[in-house]
Structure 1
Amino acid sequence: MRTSLRLNNDLSPAEFCALAEAAEAAGFDQLWVSDDLMLHSATVLLTAAATRTSRIALGCGIFNPYTVHPAELAMTAASLHELSGGRFRLGLAAGAKQFLEWVGIEQRRPLAVTRDAVTAVRALLRHELVDLPGWTDQARLRTAVADVPIYLGAMSPKMLELAGEVADGALPLLYPPEHFPTAKAHIETGLARAGRNPADFDLPACVWLSLDRDRARAEAALADKIAYYGSAFSPYLLERAGLTRADFAEIDAAGAAGDHDRARSLVDARMLRLGIAGDVEDVLLRCRWLVDRGATHLSFGPPLGPDPRAAVELLGAEVLPALGSGEPG
């Protein structure tokens, strides 16, 4: 069983590095960080973590080709690959439409733009010519060839199938975790279409986790995260949990008014099922459900718990051993 930890880029470099060290000590195979707009730079966080760790694989989940050009994505990937001693993984996706609109960017043709970004970045990293309109033969990296695995952050059926066609792995955010078999089937469709071996593809079951020995504290931490992000989820994923964006209207209004306590209190049991919250036994129960349905890589994302460092240590001490983790990342 392969395991990974996913963190948000709302952490300071010092906080992120502390958790990176804790994740490596806990036995995680991979550590991923988001690159959401208007927070800390994922590139800076990963650079710092690369100098503070020695074994754990480090990835960005995700960069998007709308705010960062594929040429710069390739430059960043090659540089982090070199700095980390080959531990870097590049996560790409179209990004969140809502966040791109903050800076006046329209998310046009997300599937085609993402496919072209993978094509360009992979060619550049291999010192091959980019076969896309407008690129010249001067568009080549002057750094060493870098064998960087590319993962797609995919949630929609078509993007999941694209991941199976062109990527080395995927980062399908599972809201709820029980969506895993459906996501896996779409990726397998893409793999079959491209004639690829599923054994060569890394498919983490990416879940939101909030872990604490006190179940109520764990649920409160997850409720805070759901109150902030819930209405930004795609209708497709919300439907999987029996929800719609309209269910979050009161929560959004409370958050916009600065009443975060009320927003948290409005998160109901159905919404909490979007992630996994509770004590060790609660977490193991739902993780084992995923393993029974073919998950060979479990990826735990924020909030992790009211005390993220304690949650990481608890995962390493009691959850990962029970799940039989240990495959290299």
Structure 2
Amino acid sequence: MTLLGAVFLPQLPPERLRAVAQAADRAGLDELWLWEDCFRESGIASAAAALAWTDRLRVAVGLLPVPLRNVALTAMEIATLERMFPGRVAMGVGHGVQDWMAQVGERVESPVTLLREHVTVLRSLLRGEEVTFAGRYVQLDGVRLDWPPLDPPALAVGASGPRSLRLSGEVADATILTGGTSPDAVRAARVLIDEGRIAGGRTEPHRVTVFVLAATGPGAAERLAASHRDWGHDLTQEVGVAGDAAVVAAAVRRWADAGATAVVLQPTADDPDPEDFVRFVAREVRPLVP
């Protein structure tokens, strides 16, 4: 089955999250995704609040920029959420937008090296292991979580370039592909991810999540086109969808057929009703997606 989610955009003020999360929970949405974009909402604080406000909703953060975070702190936060809300937490990490990292003095010479070190150590900590590690960027001396997750959650890596896609296949449990990724680009990404999985000797299933811009209701096509321009998407490819539930569901199936395990619909920043958007995804699109 293709998982279907929706994004709570960080362009919305944090006080809007409660109503959107509760609407998603009541509507039966598979997953609500949050972004830790600089310099908007914190991913961990937002996830904790959304989980506490809801009963069954799975809450995902895609993604935490690793240059901003000590790996031990990241592990503590993920473990705490997973123990308090077992099975309802999904987490992704990435090397961050380099211009943003430079703004806060955390840009590194080799973002992919940092990401490899961070993910390798983070997965070990979440398994409850004691970790001593002396890397280029990550250093730990005999660190073990007192309260590791009882069932460590899958850890995703946000990736776009060939090196990071191969790295994700090698060291992570899942991959997150950004908005603007066409079905053809998903197919190409899966090839690189699988190369990494072979290199890392990974044989377990590897989830691939893709964000897809979507708009529905009055002015949907115009809002979608404006969002594509704002994001600078390549419009020679299929990178979004506007229309009713049948049109959106057909598009979701195209991304799923290309190899996406989960399709997360991303509303436009000017969507007139974020609560209604998550209800639309859960109640109208979900029944049309196998």
Separation in structure 2 between the aligned mates of residue 171 and residue 62 of structure 1, nearest angstrom: 8
**Displacement after TM superposition at 1:224 (Å):** 4.7
Structure 1 equivalent of residue 106 of structure 2: 105
SS of 1:40's equivalent in the other structure is: coil
Structure 2 equivalent of residue 264 of structure 1: none
Superposed CA deviations along residues 107-158 of structure 1, whole A, max 9, x for unmatched, are 4211110111111212222221324214211x22222445122110111111
Superposed CA deviations along residues 164-217 of structure 1, whole A, max 9, x for unmatched, are 11111111114142221111221122122223235x22112321222x233xx2
Separation in structure 2 between the aligned mates of residue 312 and residue 39 of structure 1, nearest angstrom: 21
Matched, 1:33 2:39: no
**Displacement after TM superposition at 1:103 (Å):** 2.0
Separation in structure 1 between the aligned mates of residue 225 and residue 70 of structure 2, nearest angstrom: 35
Separation in structure 1 between the aligned mates of residue 230 and residue 52 of structure 2, nearest angstrom: 32
C-alpha RMSD of the superposition: 2.3
Matched, 1:206 2:207: no
SS of 2:212's equivalent in the other structure is: strand
Q: Which amino acid aligns with 2:122?
A: V
When residues 107 and 302 of structure 1 are mapped into structure 2, their CA distance, relative to the original with a 3 A threshold, is farther
Which of 283, 290, 293 matches 2:255? Answer: 290
**Displacement after TM superposition at 1:59 (Å):** 1.7
Larger Rg: 1
Q: Which amino acid aligns with 1:191?
A: R
Separation in structure 1 between the aligned mates of residue 100 and residue 82 of structure 2, nearest angstrom: 28
Separation in structure 2 between the aligned mates of residue 278 and residue 99 of structure 1, nearest angstrom: 34
Structure 1 equivalent of residue 279 of structure 2: 313
**Displacement after TM superposition at 1:61 (Å):** 0.8
Which of 187, 191, 197 matches 1:181? Answer: 187
Structure 2 equivalent of residue 259 of structure 1: none
Q: What is the TM-score when the length of structure 1 is the normalising length?
A: 0.78
Structure 1 equivalent of residue 241 of structure 2: 276
Contact (CA 8 Å) 2:30, 2:282: kept in 1 or not?
no
SS of 2:195's equivalent in the other structure is: helix
Contact (CA 8 Å) 1:223, 1:272: kept in 2 or not?
no
SS of 1:51's equivalent in the other structure is: helix
When residues 86 and 319 of structure 1 are mapped into structure 2, their CA distance, relative to the original with a 3 A threshold, is closer
Contact (CA 8 Å) 1:206, 1:299: kept in 2 or not?
yes
Q: Which has the higher strand share?
A: 2
> Structure 1: which 5+ residue stretches go unaligned?
231-237, 242-269, 325-329
Structure 2 equivalent of residue 141 of structure 1: 145
SS of 1:161's equivalent in the other structure is: helix
Contact (CA 8 Å) 2:249, 2:286: kept in 1 or not?
no
Contact (CA 8 Å) 1:152, 1:170: kept in 2 or not?
yes
Q: Which amino acid aligns with 1:185?
A: V
Separation in structure 1 between the aligned mates of residue 115 and residue 247 of structure 2, nearest angstrom: 37
- Matched-pair identity in %: 28
**Displacement after TM superposition at 1:298 (Å):** 1.6
When residues 20 and 124 of structure 1 are mapped into structure 2, their CA distance, relative to the original with a 3 A threshold, is same
When residues 40 and 224 of structure 1 are mapped into structure 2, their CA distance, relative to the original with a 3 A threshold, is farther
Contact (CA 8 Å) 2:80, 2:149: kept in 1 or not?
no
Structure 1 equivalent of residue 11 of structure 2: 10
How is 1:1-329 mapped onto 2 (pairs within 5 angstroms)?
Answer: 1-133=2-134, 134-137=139-142, 139-146=143-150, 147-178=152-183, 179-197=185-203, 200-210=205-215, 212-214=216-218, 217-230=219-232, 241=234, 270=235, 273-303=238-268, 305-324=271-290
**Displacement after TM superposition at 1:271 (Å):** 7.8
**Displacement after TM superposition at 1:9 (Å):** 2.5
> Structure 2: which 5+ residue stretches go unaligned?
none
When residues 122 and 310 of structure 1 are mapped into structure 2, their CA distance, relative to the original with a 3 A threshold, is same
Separation in structure 2 between the aligned mates of residue 289 and residue 206 of structure 1, nearest angstrom: 13
Contact (CA 8 Å) 2:155, 2:173: kept in 1 or not?
yes
Contact (CA 8 Å) 1:31, 1:57: kept in 2 or not?
yes
**Displacement after TM superposition at 1:86 (Å):** 3.5
Give the total of aligned pairs: 282
**Displacement after TM superposition at 1:272 (Å):** 9.3
Q: Which runs of 4+ in 1 moved over 6 A?
A: none
Contact (CA 8 Å) 2:71, 2:121: kept in 1 or not?
yes
Superposed CA deviations along residues 234-260 of structure 1, whole A, max 9, x for unmatched, are xxxx6xx3xxxxxxxxxxxxxxxxxxx
SS of 1:55's equivalent in the other structure is: coil
Separation in structure 2 between the aligned mates of residue 72 and residue 313 of structure 1, nearest angstrom: 34
When residues 148 and 294 of structure 1 are mapped into structure 2, their CA distance, relative to the original with a 3 A threshold, is closer
Structure 2 equivalent of residue 249 of structure 1: none
Q: Which has the higher helix share?
A: 1
